[in-house]
Amino acid sequence: MDIILGVRLQDCTLVATSKAATRGISVLKANDDKTRILNTHNLLAYTGEAGDTVQFAEYIQANIQLYLMRENDTELSPKATALFVRNQLATSLRSRKPYQVNVLIGGYDTKTDVPALSWIDYLGTHVELPYAAHGYAAFYCSSLFDRHYRKDMDLEAGLDLLRMCVKELEMRMPIDFKGVYVKVVGKDGVRAIEL
């Protein structure tokens, strides 16, 4: 029941993830960060089966870092990163025990100066979208995104949109998700931002 949201703005991508780590009916932690920085301009947000999630995210992170080292600090583009992740999930799906992880990848392509957002589920479905969400959050936020999203949105407008989403989630969702962490992936890399 974790919440992960992503919005692609004019010059950056926003990723929001809930802070609560839950198990059954208990909240175990109220400052859980469900993202991993893959390289300077790519951020992976994940949700899914506990255990699988962090294991998978860090495996991906390690492989992207390895590529970075082998390639003399040349970064993999957001598209290539997303495709790599998709491939890993698709391979995993066909193994004996697949990773049950859904991810969003927020990126910024430094070559073309274009932000990117990828939605990938545990089946290996990959779509590039202007805004995306996984799980229950998608039910509550999709309509808000559909109504209020503009492709020329700046950071402030994007944050306003996320505030609306969080407000809606707090009102409608039966559980307390302890608020969200918001990260911005832009030209200068990944940074956290207060909502």
Partner 1 sequence: MSRRYDSRTTIFSPEGRLYQVEYAQEAIANAGTAIGILAADGVVLACEKKVTSKLLDKDGSAEKLYHINDQMMCAVAGMTADALILVNNARVTAQTHLKTYNEEIPCELLIKRLCDVKQGYTQHGGLRPFGVSFLYAGYDDRYQFQLYTSNPSGNYSGWKATAIGANNSAAQTLLKKDYASDMSLRGACELAIKVLSKTVDSSNLNSDKLEFATLSLGADGRVVRKIWSELDVDLLIKELGVLEKADEE
Which residues form the interface with partner 1 (CB under 8 A)? 70-71, 74, 76-77, 79-80, 83-84, 87, 111
- Least Å distance between CB 71 and partner 1? 6
Tokens of 14: 């926003």
Minimum CB separation from partner 1 for residue 39, in Å?
Answer: 13
| Residue nearer to partner 1 on the CB measure, 70 or 96 | 70
d(CA 145, CA 141): 6
Which of these, 67, 105, 114, 65, lies nearest to 85 by C-alpha position? 105
Instruction: Find the shortest distance in angstroms from Cβ 153 to partner 1.
Output: 27
Cβ distance to partner 1 smaller for residue 125 or 143: 125
Amino acid at 142: S
Judged by beta carbon, residue 71 or residue 176, the one nearer partner 1 is: 71
CA distances from 94 to 59, 98, 100, 126 (A): 18, 7, 12, 16
Give the separation between CA 122 and CA 118, rounded to whole angstroms: 13
Cβ 161 to partner 1 shortest distance, Å: 30
Residue number, 112 or 143, with CB nearest to partner 1: 112
Minimum CB separation of residue 76 from partner 1 in Å reads 7
Alpha helices in 3-94, H assignment, sequence order: 52-70, 78-93
> In the complex with partner 1, which residue's Cβ is closer, 83 or 175?
83
Gap between the Cα atoms of 137 and 1, Å rounded: 8
